[in-house]
Amino acid sequence: MKLIRTVHYTVPYPGGEAPSGAFRIALLADLHNNIFPGLTEQIRREAPDIILIVGDMANKPLSWRKAGFGRAYALIKALAAEYPVYYAPGNHETEWKARPDSMGALYERYQKALERKGVIFLNNDSACVSGKGFSFRLSGLELSRALYERRPGSAHPFTEEDLEALLGPSDPSGYQILLSHTPVFFEAYRRWGADLVLSGHLHGGMIRFPGIGGLIGAGFSLFPEYDRGHFEEEEKHMIVTAGLGTHTLPVRVLNPRELAIIDLEKE
């Protein structure tokens, strides 16, 4: 049985004390249509207030296989029966949706079926969320394949202006959470105005070295800066989960699959 570890993070939320305690987020990413018996119960034991998904739960169609989504659909449907669920796409969902053949229409059915179960998709869209004395604007970023191929140090990096063109301005008057599948543009995210960024995509670097970190980054670059964990720059925070599954190359070395739990705690 493939085990999933639970990793807890605490992120400060501005404001006075909350009489009902922290606001708890369960962060899911990179399931890649794998199946993990007991995952729903593992999430339930953490008693989250909300489920946030940052993409690649299903698999895009490849030349040698059809899209994989049945297990992802079953998990998300079960969670939506118990919790509010918000879903921002990853590169697999975006590329699947963009297929010009019947596979593209299949993605539309996948999304609409989950929407009927109450899942809210944030494809370059935002929603206001509140509960337990907390309130925040939740925005979900959808990047094209071309944007996934950009790098922060390239001649044409992804900037906060690019992000604003996709999502509009951030909410300067309140707390802003950004769901973005890839963490590599953290500087643009925080400059845009994200107080907290939630990401995945890099699978923890796939192969990890003690004291060094993950080996494989986006586009098979080496030793990514944001592989997994809690990052903070200028009082802006980012949580990067190592994710749940694998695809194509099922490699994870010293890199457990993980369920990330984030507690927003009032300062």
* CATH number of the CATH domain containing 177: 3.60.21.10
Closest C-alpha to 194, from 174, 172, 178: 178
- Helix (H) / strand (E) containing 110: helix 102-116
**Per-residue pLDDT at 1:** 46
- Res 193: pLDDT: 97
**Domains of the chain: total:** 1
CA distance 61 to 36: 22
For residue 64, what are the CA distances in angstroms to 17, 46, 60, 76, 103? 54, 38, 11, 26, 13
Report the pLDDT value the prediction gives residue 215, as an integer from 0 to 100: 65
What tens-digit pLDDT sequence spans the chain (267 residues)?
A: 468 999 999 999 998 776 678 999 999 999 999 999 999 999 999 999 999 999 999 999 876 678 889 999 999 999 999 999 999 999 999 999 998 888 899 999 999 999 999 999 999 999 999 999 999 999 999 999 888 887 766 767 899 999 999 999 998 899 999 999 999 999 999 999 999 999 999 888 677 778 787 666 666 676 678 999 999 999 999 999 999 988 877 778 888 999 999 999 997
Residue 160: give the domain boundaries.
Answer: 4-266
